[in-house]
Amino acid sequence: MIVMLTSAKATAQQTPNVYRDSVVQLYGVVMTADSLRAIPSASIIVEGKGRGTITNPDGVFSIAVLKGDRITFSCIGFKNRSIEIPLNLADNQYSVIQLLVSDTAYLPATILKPRPTREQFERDFVNNKIADDSYEIARKNTDEAQRRILINSLPADGKEAINYQLRQQANKYYYSGQLPPMNILNPAAWADFIKAWKRGDFKRKD
């Protein structure tokens, strides 16, 4: 038993730690290519690994990567740049000074034309249609007249249809073997009829 443990220990000491030897501390600074100014909050992403870091206000960064990893440097207003950590790197540290080139975005031309007169500007400003925001749309949808229009115009969805069918079946089974009550003598039914008549539910919809 002692011989086996000694042999295993010797084998472990002779076998190099591949994962430890492949870890590299990548550090450096990200700067502009034209004026050599530090770029703060630039992103340093390890492609395919879902992790990264950002530069500090002085453009300096530091991140642990593996040999062979591909690193992408990006920042708004600059073109992306990528580097690859060498596989044959002898040391476990790798420093870079990454220069980013400005990326110019060309926008379509806009022509500003003033109104001919102040009176025309005031007329167009007052008559300008402004789209309703979420609060105004919600207020309109909660209006009683708007709710009646929506109820009459929107088709019933599957949940409403199946609930109506289940209620009809429940009423049928409830009065099975007896005569159902006549709503003509039901005060609640008369109250609902009068309210619907006042609302105009029975008016012709041309």
Q: What is the pLDDT of residues 129-186, one digit of tens each?
A: 888 888 888 888 788 888 878 777 877 778 878 888 888 888 888 877 777 777 777 7
Give the C-alpha separation, 155 to 147, whole Å: 13
Q: What pLDDT sits at residue 206?
A: 56
User: What percentage of the chain carries pLDDT values higher than 70?
Assistant: 88
Whether residues 72 and 122 share a domain: the answer is no
Question: Residue 15: its pLDDT value, please?
Answer: 45
pTM confidence score: 0.45
Least confident residue range of 77-86, 93-102, 157-166: 157-166
DSSP 8-state secondary structure symbol assigned to residue 149 = H
User: Does a structural domain hold residue 166?
Assistant: yes
- C-alpha triplet 88, 94, 99: angle, nearest 5°: 115
Q: Do the beta carbons of residue 117 and residue 50 sit within 8 Å? A: no
Distances (CA, A) of 69 to 2, 46, 195: 42, 7, 74
- Residue 78 domain-assigned? yes
Q: Is 110 part of any domain? A: no
Residues 77, 144, single domain; the answer is no
Does one domain contain both 96 and 27? yes
Nearest C-alpha neighbor of 59 from the set 45, 40, 37, 35: 40
- Of 144 and 3, the structure prediction assigns the larger pLDDT to 144
**Does residue 105 form part of some domain?**
no
Domain total for the chain? 2
Residue 72 lies in a domain: yes
Domain assignment of residue 189, yes or no: yes
* E strand intervals along the chain: 23-32, 43-46, 51-54, 60-66, 70-74, 81-84, 93-100
Q: Looking at the predicted structure, is the pLDDT value of residue 7 above 70?
A: no
| Higher pLDDT, residue 73 or 113 | 73
Q: Is the pLDDT of residue 77 over 70?
A: yes
Q: What does the alpha-carbon distance between residue 124 and residue 118 come to, in Å, rounded to a whole number? A: 10
Show the domain range for 40.
2-100
First-to-last C-alpha distance (Å) of the chain: 99
In a domain, 41, yes or no: yes
